[in-house]
Amino acid sequence: MTLAVQSPLTLAEIAVKVEQGSRIDVEDARWLWQNAAVGELQRLAAIVRSRFHAPGECTYMVMRIVNYTNVCVAQCDYCAFYKLPTQAGGYVMSQDDVFAKLDELIALGGDLAAFNGGFNPALPLSYYCELFAAIRARYGDALEFYALTIAEFLYLADHAKLSYAEAAERLRASGVRWITGGGSEILTEGFRARHSKFKYTVAEYFEAQRAIIDAGLKTTATMVIGFDETLDERLEHLDRTRQFQDETRGLASFLCWTFKPYFTQLGGQLGGIEISTAEYLKHLALCRIFLDNIPRIRTSVLTQNQRALEGLNYGADDFDLPIEDEVTQKAGATISLDFERILDYARELGYTPRYRHVALAAKQ
Ligand code: SF4
């Protein structure tokens, strides 16, 4: 019989693991969250960060989320964005609508678009393939795009009655290079049963992401905190993500952001209470320490504004400067286009920000 290894449960012993490049386990992570001083978490996160990135360096991108449709049948209770097919106010963007958004992005100095819409039963696979092929034909390598989130990909494949492998191949043939890990929120079956029971299981999420990697597409890991998730659920999410990366090596980065509750069913009209930036930053540090196999930890300007950059002192190394995202803006997020002010804050914190071109990375 194999006995479970007991966590040492002292800071000194956990710190030695991190300093020596050994992996911490879930119980170590729990202990750190519950007992370690914030400064110690920052110190340990900096050690792991330094294995991937030079201290004092960070990267960023100017990007736009293109919410091509707001029609969705998933009915997640944390979403203020969607309209049911029977409700007024639903929309679908034409190719020209999308081109106008992308032209504006380029004019503002950006070169990354991320498509994020809903589970819209009126949209066939051809809508997506034609749109993405047209974007690739029009912009070439001057602009890169994250074609869908895993959640939308799951719905699209099911709706088109294709296997995940077939759907990934059809998208790849249309010029798609990236499908991001969006739609993960908290990757536990319990969380999904409570809040998004029509949004696919954790097992389906990872099965689809594996098919995406096997098809030669690039992908990322994401997480959203600040709902009603427990510490156990956060740790399970991180553990599943790390295991998946051990198996596939396919996750280019990890991005965590915070739930914006305004006008959602879960948060109510007044929004309830958002978690503090301090809690977000502490969580980022824990993510950096635990996810020792993911090179890039990203911090969320979209949901934390300028203060997200303080995440650079908590193990993060990369961030977006977003110009639009209707999903989070509908639920209370605010966006500033004063990029220089935000970049100056990174410099004040002691970092040299460098633009990261995803289009170039996709071809490496
Ligand atoms: S979060 Fe996404 S999948 Fe859920 S209801 Fe909103 S648009 Fe639909």
The structure tokens listed for 28 are: 């170590």
The structure tokens listed for 261 are: 């509750």
- Mean pLDDT over 18-40 rounds to 97
Around 341, how many Cα atoms within 13 Å sit in the side-chain half-sphere? Answer: 8
Q: What is the rounded distance in angstroms from the CA atom of residue 307 to the CA atom of residue 152?
A: 30
Query: Could you tell me which residues come within 8 angstroms of residue 179 by beta carbon, excluding any fewer than 6 positions away?
Result: 146, 147, 148, 149, 150, 153, 168, 171, 212, 217, 218, 219
Q: What is the rounded distance in angstroms from the CA atom of residue 60 to the CA atom of residue 135?
A: 23
Say what the pLDDT of residue 273 is.
Answer: 82
Instruction: Kindly state if the Cβ of 266 falls inside 6 Å of ligand 1.
Output: no
Say what the pLDDT of residue 183 is.
Answer: 93
Instruction: Kindly state if the Cβ of 143 falls inside 6 Å of ligand 1.
Output: no
Nearest residue by C-alpha to atom 7 in ligand 1:
118
- Mean pLDDT over 309-325 rounds to 93
The structure tokens listed for 36 are: 């370690």
More confident residue, 360 or 269: 269
Atom of ligand 1 nearest to the CA of 151: 3
Instruction: Kindly state if the Cβ of 73 falls inside 6 Å of ligand 1.
Output: no
Say what the pLDDT of residue 324 is.
Answer: 73
Say what the pLDDT of residue 64 is.
Answer: 94
Atom of ligand 1 nearest to the CA of 155: 3
Say what the pLDDT of residue 267 is.
Answer: 86
Using pLDDT thresholds of 50, 70 and 90, give the confidence band for residue 331.
confident
Lowest mean per-residue pLDDT among 125-139, 235-249, 348-362: 348-362
| Percent residues over pLDDT 70 in the chain | 96
Q: What is the rounded distance in angstroms from the CA atom of residue 178 to the CA atom of residue 251?
A: 11
Say what the pLDDT of residue 2 is.
Answer: 41
- Mean pLDDT over 320-344 rounds to 82
Q: Say if CB 156 and CB 126 are below 8 A apart.
A: no
- Mean pLDDT over 283-299 rounds to 98
Query: Could you tell me which residues come within 8 angstroms of residue 281 by beta carbon, excluding any fewer than 6 positions away?
Result: 38, 310, 311, 313, 314
Q: What is the rounded distance in angstroms from the CA atom of residue 212 to the CA atom of residue 189?
A: 21
Q: What is the rounded distance in angstroms from the CA atom of residue 150 to the CA atom of residue 146?
A: 11
Q: What is the rounded distance in angstroms from the CA atom of residue 224 to the CA atom of residue 283?
A: 11
- Mean pLDDT over 226-239 rounds to 97
Residue 104 Cα to chain centre, angstroms: 23
pLDDT in tens, 240-265: 999 999 999 999 999 999 998 888 99
Say what the pLDDT of residue 6 is.
Answer: 52
